[in-house]
Amino acid sequence: MSLTADLGPQSRSRALEAMGSEELDVLVVGGGITGVGTALDSVSRGLSTGLIEQRDWASGTSSRSSKLVHGGLRYLEMFDFALVKEALEERGLLLTRLAPHLVRPVPFLYPLHHTWERPYVGAGLVLYDGMAMAGKYEMGVPKHKHLFRKQIERMAPDLRTQDLKGAIRYYDCQVDDARLTMTIARTAASYGAHVASRTKVTGFLREGDAVVGVTARDLENDVDLEIRAKVVINGAGVWSDEIQEMVGGRGQLKVEASKGVHIVVPRDRIRSSAGFITKTEKSVLFVIPWGRHWIIGTTDTPWKHDLAHPAASRADIDYVLGHVNTLLKEPLDHEDVEGVYAGLRPLAKGESEPTSKISREHTVVAPVPGLVMIAGGKLTTYRVMAKDAVDVAAETLAQRGASVRDSITDRVPLIGASGFELRTAQRVSLARSSGLSVSRIDHLLGRYGGLVDEVLSIVADDPSLGEPLAGNDDYLAAEVVYAVTHEGARHLDDVLTRRTRLSIETFDRGTGAARAAAALMAGVLGWDEARVEEEVDHYLRRVEAERQSQEMMTDSEADEARVSAPEGSWAV
């Protein structure tokens, strides 16, 4: 079996055909981090598995996080020790075994404003590092270190130090969340899972009280189908309540949507070799190194509007700017912001608790026979969430005489992990043989790992694709083609927002590269000029609607501005 399975158009068609013609053991609904992780856990136990997503992989919460793989330092203060320990173990596992090509360490400074904070925060970080070292897997990052003002000034010249008593440097990890999600989906497919995006659940198949599958619609081709499965696992995140309504509202899972807003600014706006973390009155604020940029966030507020398109308001951006500016010598303003994104956290609802106080620990329930639902959790602990969901599904399968193995995903590296270390050692020879620069090879290795040869073969077949994408120098034209042929991109928005991150990494939000990217996609997907124009027009209108929403002061005004952009004919 090939471990370089693609998510291209033909693979999607075959997956839909297979799902419509055989009863599966498990069907997973939802293509975010929880859903794809569940599909991988299921198929790696030997279960016949399907996975469907109504939009693109990671199109919701899983492309709009802080992009951190971390233990959650602030949860220590909430005495959520079990969550922190679990997350630190998963951090080490992802960094050292499962996804070393995608996950990398990142240093943070925790500024100390009062003398008493050094022993207090220091004790917390001793516990944080201690939990990581005592876990089941390698720690993978350096231990924390106490710093004094002179050291801080050398490391972070733009940090306001006159009022500081020092800082503590510690390490967590980061990942491109959308790329991680898509890679897990590909890994599941490589082990035999049938996976298809742009496929929306329209109802449940029932035999008495039991759920025995779903009715679904292939949104790309406007075709309805039935998918039968012994167990359906819903990992639809903030849409969980909507899914429960399809079974007559019979659910035990209530999900609260909490909005988190991040801004992106160029790296040269803040001179520092490390990120920052600081407490706010509601949560914490991260300033995170992200290539040639900084990601700054986040907010944590309830969201009661459109779930598909959460909108950042000017008040959200002002909040983030106001808090980060308390740390900086030279304040940032709106002119420095090159990107903004808003995501919704699916939190298991508490009793009248503000969303920043609700635990990120996940919840798994089985409201009716044949249906399992999961919500809550963190990006970092997706694998544990998936294991727990399939464990519950296994109980139903056992009642039907099936014997289900225990989870093995802690020993299943994601595609691209194999060969990453070897190809990294050969980076200079790869550059020489491909005609690309060493820095460009490093960029590709950090996105594709051991699959870098698949991208380089596209360049070898058409050397023009080894040139930067027109309108942007950060990505090669070949990466757009590969996004379609191997990574399941079906629309321009998929490429500019999730396969690349041009929508948040450039001041023009990717509009300068839109036409060139659409033309490259057209060659693979068979689009005519009218379709290219439709895709580009839809993307430009989306960007303009987002810009308008970010000028509005309230959530309701921002939502109204964002949803004003007309959807493409293919959109959910």
Q: What is the pLDDT of residue 569?
A: 58
- pLDDT tens profile 136-150: 899 999 999 999 999
- pLDDT tens profile 320-374: 999 999 999 999 999 999 999 999 988 776 433 443 443 457 888 888 999 999 9
How many CA atoms lie less than 13 Å away from 270 in the CB half-sphere? Answer: 32
SS3 of residue 544 by DSSP:
helix
Residue 116 has phi, psi (to 5 degrees) of -70, -20
- pLDDT tens profile 56-98: 999 999 999 999 999 988 888 888 898 899 999 999 999 999 9
Run of H or E including 201: strand 199-207
Structure tokens at 95: 């960094």
Structure tokens at 123: 């004790």
Torsion of CA 515, 518, 523, 526, to 10 degrees: -120
- pLDDT tens profile 420-453: 999 999 999 999 999 999 999 999 999 999 999 9
Q: Name the H helices within 250-379.
A: 314-325
For the chain, list residues with pLDDT below 70.
1-4, 249-252, 349-360, 566, 568-572
Torsion of CA 490, 491, 495, 501, to 10 degrees: -130
Structure tokens at 117: 């904070």
Structure tokens at 280: 């706010």
Burial (CB count within 10 angstroms: exposed 0-12, middle 13-18, buried 19+), residue 281: exposed
pTM over 0.85: yes
User: Measured between alpha carbons, how far is 137 from 126 in angstroms, rounded to an integer?
Assistant: 18
Structure tokens at 389: 């969901």
Q: What is the pLDDT of residue 1?
A: 36
How many CA atoms lie less than 13 Å away from 72 in the CB half-sphere? Answer: 25
Closest by CA to 263, choosing from 457, 572, 546, is 546
Asked if 39 contacts 187 with a C-beta cutoff of 8 angstroms, the reply is: no
How many CA atoms lie less than 13 Å away from 387 in the CB half-sphere? Answer: 13
Strands (DSSP E) along 298-413, which ranges?
301-302, 339-348, 363-368, 371-375
DSSP 158-172: TB--TT--EEEEEEE
Asked if 2 contacts 191 with a C-beta cutoff of 8 angstroms, the reply is: no
